[in-house]
Structure 1
Amino acid sequence: MPESKKPTLHPKNKNKGQYDLKALVKVNPDLAKYIKTNKLGIETIDFTNPIAVKLLNKSLLNHYYGIQFWKFPDTNLCPPIPGRVDYIHYMADLLGENDNITCLDIGVGASCIYPILGVSEYNWNFIASDIDRKSIATAKKIVSSNSSLKDKVDFRFQENKNQIFKGIINEDDKIDITICNPPFHASKKDAEKGSMRKVRNLTGKKLKKVQLNFSGMVDEMIYEGGEKQFIQNMIIESVNYAENCLWFSSLVSNERNLNRFYSSLEKYGAKDVKTIHMTTANKISRIVVWSFLDEKEQEEWKKK
């Protein structure tokens, strides 16, 4: 399966290198009290503190992307901007130069992060789905409060938690790319273990127990069967929307799941499958991308 390995952040990522904390504090003074000096004498923040992490990401959105209002409950996932915008950049590379892209974000979440970044960087149009009405309401408030986002996002509520595309994609929709950061834990216990690993990676300390400090509602983090089953279901459903979408894609946290996805994509007739590796800080993730259109059909799509 074709793979493209990316050792660092995407070249277009505005968040490369050390954070410019002085500039970030200038747009968000509340961040200042969470800045500390590490053992190397470099100013940083405590990445195990969810308040500090949220303020950092809020500051990044303001400084680099002009987002003035970004407010959502602390119980919802707070997305790391560098990794999220990398996903957008690599999908933009895949799509090539195009002034009229429509992207479907599966599970937009209360933070509305992918539409924010896709509109800010490439002026994409978004369809944004979620299974939680409160998350959609919060995301709508973010969009309506930032003039650059107005009229760029079409929110659609997914009434059936067991469906991904069905009930969201309309018969006449033409979507250039679907994106998704799937729930990757199969249970609360798995989520707690993942949180412990994250703390250990950030601090070097091994903890016996940790609370789920990395905010995230159950529906955002946990799915029966975990990431493997969610993406498997997505692949199966995508067959029914082969003519509505040029590309389907999903983040993949666990590399061991890839072979299962490749087998399923072959079984269900995907004609083009790619894997893109991304690296952010000390985390490696992948994007699996597939299309049911061959090369000629893809070129015809782009001409429409």
Structure 2
Amino acid sequence: MIYVVATVRWIPDGQLCPTVPNRSNYIHWIEDLLSSDLIPRISNSSETVRGFDIGTGANCIYPLLGASLLGWSFVGSDVTDVALEWAKRNVESNPHLAGLIEIRNANEAPCSSKSETVAEEAVRENTSEPVDSVVRSIAPIFVGVVKDSESFDFCMCNPPFFESMEEAGLNPKTSCAGTAEEMACPGGEQAFITHIIEDSVSFKNSFRWFTSMVGRKANLKLLVSKVREAGASVVKTTEFVQGQTARWGLAWSFIAPRKNVIRSSTPGKVHHSFMLQGLRRGNGAFQVLKSAETFFCASNLSCKTDSLSFSIDVTLSDEQTQAATLDGDDLPGSVEDDSTKVHSTVTGASFRISVFEQMPGTLLIKGSLLNKSLSGTFTSLFSQLEETLKTEFVSKDR
């Protein structure tokens, strides 16, 4: 059973044709960053999560995915007439999402008072090496595009990976064509992301998280160093693996993290995910969802399945929760010491399993702990679920 929630109807010849799974993985990683509560929300931000897509492209893939899967609102920016025209067409072809997505021309954005302070503030903060001519030649990213008093929960970017189209053509892992503006820029991805980092210093109070995809692992360490030099309070990285393609995610924030979250984040993760690739013929999201339900029911856990959203809410009984606590599971967020923790009453420990269709034959299985208790038990159960579903649904010859 497949639900199509957004469509990309038009991509003109020569424009980048995106593969959806890696883009979806990026969206879900940002979802994990936002739900972690490590960085508090900006005080004047609305309840709706708001994102800024740098270089949205003719396909407008990230805003369409984020709006359709998660109900987020977006501003997508670009610099070429072709990308702007077709991005608007793809938004308009999804009228149920059109109110959530705005497309902006980065070359024609009104001047912002912040544009006069970018270089000055970078020097004042003693952030990094002086901006060289390569970085200066890159089109505007935030300056003049983000409006005064405007705030976002995050920005995201799939930057031009190469320094030239010749370099792109020599790369054996380049899987699809694209325009020069999409695939190459002076200095490549290192210069482009450096420009984002330098701009972020002046917009530190306008974004909760700054993020970018990175195409080369060799660049990641250098870019992390630049982010730290810029004075970021938190830096996060991740790896996206889809088939034989690997990309990396870089995220940073200048907002002070919550102290209680820092203290409690060590014991265990509250978000997990894995991919089911190469599903056997006749199997899809519905069959996987029902198998997951059977797995948890066999462990005497309470399950509430929603077939419309392809999700299961799993709840431990009070007795199971207390048993896990006495066995030494962690209670992130607890202020009790070890001598009193086992005597506390923890109830309603639950988590959610969601199944997302990525493309024919590929599913993303995601688990999220719905409260602050029993992260160790959740991690163990999710690992067992992954092994069970891969054994049941994935072809052995993969």
TM-score when scaled to structure 1? 0.69
Q: 1:245 to 1:115 in 2, by over 3 A?
A: same
CA separation in 2, counterparts of 1:170 and 1:138?
Answer: 23
Equivalent residues of 2:162, 2:168 under 8 A apart? yes
Q: 1:192 to 1:230 in 2, by over 3 A?
A: same
Indicate yes or no: 2:248 matched with 1:286. yes
Q: 1:140 to 1:198 in 2, by over 3 A?
A: closer
CA separation in 1, counterparts of 2:62 and 2:15?
Answer: 15
Q: Which has the larger radius of gyration?
A: 2
Residue of structure 2 in register with 1:116 after alignment: 64
Q: 1:297 to 1:141 in 2, by over 3 A?
A: farther
Alignment of 1:247-286 (within 5 A): 247-286=209-248
SS in 1 for 2:143: coil
SS in 2 for 1:155: strand
| Percent identity of paired positions between Structure 1 and Structure 2 | 33
Equivalent residues of 2:106, 2:139 under 8 A apart? no
How far off is 1:133 after superposition? 2.0
TM-score when scaled to structure 2? 0.53
Residue of structure 1 in register with 2:16 after alignment: 77
Deviations 1:124-174 (A, max 9, x none): 000100011221111111111112211111111111853211121111111
SS in 2 for 1:266: helix
Equivalent residues of 1:74, 1:215 under 8 A apart? no
Equivalent residues of 1:177, 1:249 under 8 A apart? yes
5+ unaligned residues in a row in structure 2: which ranges? 37-45, 109-137, 262-398
CA separation in 1, counterparts of 2:196 and 2:161?
Answer: 14
Residue of structure 2 in register with 1:224 after alignment: 186
Deviations 1:146-205 (A, max 9, x none): 1221111111111185321112111111100100000000012111012x3446xxxxxx
Q: 1:298 to 1:82 in 2, by over 3 A?
A: farther
Indicate yes or no: 2:150 matched with 1:173. yes
Q: Which moved more, 1:167-176 or 1:110-119?
A: 167-176
CA separation in 1, counterparts of 2:18 and 2:166?
Answer: 21
Indicate yes or no: 2:16 matched with 1:88. no
Equivalent residues of 1:178, 1:247 under 8 A apart? yes
CA separation in 1, counterparts of 2:98 and 2:233?
Answer: 36
Q: How many residues align?
A: 223
Q: Which moved more, 1:67-76 or 1:256-265?
A: 67-76
CA separation in 2, counterparts of 1:197 and 1:284?
Answer: 10
Alignment of 1:1-304 (within 5 A): 63-68=2-7, 70-96=9-35, 100-159=48-107, 161-194=138-171, 196-198=172-174, 214-296=176-258
5+ unaligned residues in a row in structure 1: which ranges? 1-22, 24-62, 200-213, 300-304
Deviations 1:48-105 (A, max 9, x none): xxxxxxxxxxxxxxx5433355112021000000111110011011111895100000
CA separation in 2, counterparts of 1:240 and 1:296?
Answer: 22
Q: Which moved more, 1:244-253 or 1:135-144?
A: 135-144
How far off is 1:215 after superposition? 2.1
CA separation in 1, counterparts of 2:173 and 2:78?
Answer: 28
CA separation in 2, counterparts of 1:228 and 1:69?
Answer: 29
Q: 1:257 to 1:146 in 2, by over 3 A?
A: same
Equivalent residues of 1:65, 1:117 under 8 A apart? no
CA separation in 2, counterparts of 1:181 and 1:85?
Answer: 12
Equivalent residues of 1:65, 1:120 under 8 A apart? no
CA separation in 1, counterparts of 2:100 and 2:139?
Answer: 27
- Ranked by relative contact order (alpha carbons within 8 Å, sequence separation 6 or more), the top structure is 1
